[in-house]
């Protein structure tokens, strides 16, 4: 089996590829443009494998994509490439429309033509797995039931609206052209190799530098948190066992307010860091509330009964065990953070 993974140099894509190379005998072709969020250092442990190939290609570039499909002849596509940071989508939505909508459309068209030209025995097993987010459903009140696969789409930010559009395109390519697709919508991920603009790594780096830990508004926005390595096993399960045309919600069954998450980061740091910045007795003293993000959703929560019952997948980490692994990883890999932050500053 050869899988073409888009966005494989990003946070979840790189975890996916590390898993595929270490835990399966799959061959992997990583298609990534290497935007500020993409980093080949995250793939250091697989780069020497003869089952791994990298292609620096923009998913909006149809002829380059076609050449990759022709050269590598994949059996499946896992589509993770995206612009993924909500704050960036508010400051500059154009890149989100381009990559998340036009890029997904371009990939679908290239994959469809490739699939139609495949020999029948290969066409029957081909899969296009679109990886999406629970943010497409909009937000919930404190008492609403968690999102199911049939919850109405109601995206709030340019990011979630662009992901919602891409989900619709993927389903339409299934209904109209019969392209064999599966879709998954996952809650907030955390874990090693996440770009340090996202909540958890940002808090760790700010805390170590003795800088304020900015929490939007009252900090009571609720998210469901999933350790990235659990997400990856769910994705592999959906790819292999998911019903064609179906959607699977993935989540950690771990609803936390942003303030709880930041407090948990501080507790782990208090335990693990011997020399705190001067004058601090606990990292919690650095928490500082800042003006809320416009359109900020209050609560996301995901019902995972479908994937649990139909595909027997459940998360294996608790929030506390996953957070301990995550904070320790960042403390041991600060050089990785500083290098990718420097690289991203130099590309602006
Ligand atoms: P990320 O921002 O860390 O990585 C995105 C990757 O896509 C980067 O390597 C980047 O270089 C690449 N990329 C961007 N534009 C490209 C283009 N035009 N052509 C080719 N490559 C391009 O994102 P992530 O957090 O790893 O998320 C991966 C996917 O999972 C996204 O589709 C996202 O919507 C979805 N998702 C993320 C989360 C989360 O909590 N991070 C949760 C649910 C779903």
Cα first-last separation, the chain: 38
pLDDT digits (tens, 9 = 90+) for 120-155: 999 999 999 999 999 999 999 999 999 999 999 999
State the CB neighbour count (10 A cutoff) for residue 270.
15
* Closest C-alpha residue for ligand 1 atom 15: 82
User: CATH number of the domain at 2-195+226-253+298-320, please?
Assistant: 3.40.50.720
The response to whether residue 131 sits with its C-beta less than 6 Å from ligand 1 reads yes
For 180-187, what is the mean pLDDT?
98
pLDDT digits (tens, 9 = 90+) for 69-99: 999 999 999 999 999 999 999 999 999 999 9
What phi and psi values does residue 171 have, to the nearest 5 degrees? Answer: -65, -35
DSSP string, 131-186: EEEGGGG----TTSPPB-TTSPP---SHHHHHHHHHHHHHHHHHHHH---EEEEEE
CA angle 328/331/333 to nearest 5° reads: 105
Best residue for ligand 1 mutational test, from 13, 132, 136, 155 (most atoms within 8 Å of Cβ): 13
Report pTM: 0.96
- Please say whether the beta carbons of 226 and 252 come within 8 A: yes
pLDDT digits (tens, 9 = 90+) for 283-303: 999 999 999 888 888 999 999
The response to whether residue 155 sits with its C-beta less than 6 Å from ligand 1 reads no
Best residue for ligand 1 mutational test, from 19, 41, 81 (most atoms within 8 Å of Cβ): 81
The response to whether residue 107 sits with its C-beta less than 6 Å from ligand 1 reads no
pLDDT digits (tens, 9 = 90+) for 237-295: 999 999 999 999 999 999 999 999 999 999 999 999 998 998 899 999 999 999 988 88
The response to whether residue 192 sits with its C-beta less than 6 Å from ligand 1 reads no
Q: Determine the atom of ligand 1 nearest the C-alpha atom of 59.
A: 19
- Please say whether the beta carbons of 65 and 138 come within 8 A: no
Question: What H or E segment, with its residue span, contains residue 241?
Answer: helix 228-241
Q: Up-side HSE of residue 25: CA atoms within 13 Å toward CB? A: 0
Write out the catalytic residue numbers. 134-135, 159
Residue 115 C-alpha to ligand 1 middle, in angstroms? 24
Single out the residue of 148, 140, 88 nearest to residue 297, CA to CA.
140
Instruction: Give the pLDDT band (50/70/90) at residue 343.
Output: confident
Q: Is the pLDDT of residue 310 over 80?
A: yes
For 314-333, what is the mean pLDDT?
95
The response to whether residue 133 sits with its C-beta less than 6 Å from ligand 1 reads yes
Q: Determine the atom of ligand 1 nearest the C-alpha atom of 12.
A: 26
Percent of the chain with pLDDT over 70: 99
In the prediction, which pLDDT does 347 show? 60
The response to whether residue 191 sits with its C-beta less than 6 Å from ligand 1 reads no
In the prediction, which pLDDT does 148 show? 98
Residue 80 C-alpha to ligand 1 middle, in angstroms? 5
Q: Up-side HSE of residue 139: CA atoms within 13 Å toward CB? A: 12
Best residue for ligand 1 mutational test, from 35, 134, 226, 230 (most atoms within 8 Å of Cβ): 35
In the prediction, which pLDDT does 340 show? 87
Q: Determine the atom of ligand 1 nearest the C-alpha atom of 134.
A: 43
The response to whether residue 203 sits with its C-beta less than 6 Å from ligand 1 reads no
- Please say whether the beta carbons of 171 and 181 come within 8 A: yes
The response to whether residue 78 sits with its C-beta less than 6 Å from ligand 1 reads no
Single out the residue of 283, 278, 256 nearest to residue 268, CA to CA.
283
Q: Which residue has the higher pLDDT, 292 or 314?
A: 314
């Amino acid at each position: 089996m050869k899988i073409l993974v888009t966005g494989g140099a990003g946070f979840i894509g790189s975890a996916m590829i590390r898993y595929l190379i270490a835990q399966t005998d799959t061959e992997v072709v990583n298609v990534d443009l290497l935007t500020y969020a993409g980093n080949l250092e995250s793939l250091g442990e697989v780069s020497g494998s003869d089952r791994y190939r990298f292609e620096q290609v923009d998913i909006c570039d149809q002829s380059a994509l076609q050449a990759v499909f022709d050269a590598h002849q994949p059996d499946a596509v896992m589509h993770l490439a995206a612009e993924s940071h909500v704050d960036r989508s508010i400051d500059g939505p154009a890149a989100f429309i381009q990559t998340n909508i036009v890029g997904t459309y371009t990939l679908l068209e290239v994959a469809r033509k490739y699939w139609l030209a495949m020999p029948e025995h290969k066409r029957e097993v081909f899969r296009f797995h679109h990886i999406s987010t629970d943010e497409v459903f909009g937000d919930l009140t404190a008492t609403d039931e968690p999102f199911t696969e049939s919850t109405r789409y109601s995206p709030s930010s340019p990011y979630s609206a662009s992901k919602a559009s891409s989900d619709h395109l993927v389903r339409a390519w299934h209904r109209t052209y019969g392209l064999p697709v599966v879709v998954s919508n996952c809650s907030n991920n955390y874990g090693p190799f996440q770009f340090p603009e996202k909540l958890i790594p940002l808090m760790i780096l700010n805390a170590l530098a003795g800088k304020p830990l900015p929490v939007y508004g009252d900090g009571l926005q609720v998210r469901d948190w999933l350790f990235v390595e659990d997400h990856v096993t769910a994705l592999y399960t959906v790819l292999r066992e998911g019903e064609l045309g179906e959607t699977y919600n993935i989540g950690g069954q771990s609803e936390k307010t942003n303030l709880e998450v930041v407090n948990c980061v501080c507790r782990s740091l208090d335990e693990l860091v011997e020399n705190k910045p001067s004058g601090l007795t606990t990292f919690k003293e650095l928490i500082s509330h800042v003006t809320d993000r416009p359109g900020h959703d209050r609560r996301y929560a995901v019902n995972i009964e479908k994937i649990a019952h139909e595909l027997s997948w459940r998360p294996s980490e608790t929030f506390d065990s996953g957070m301990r692994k995550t904070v320790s990883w960042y403390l041991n890999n600060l050089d990785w953070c500083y290098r990718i932050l420097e690289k991203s500053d130099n590309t602006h």
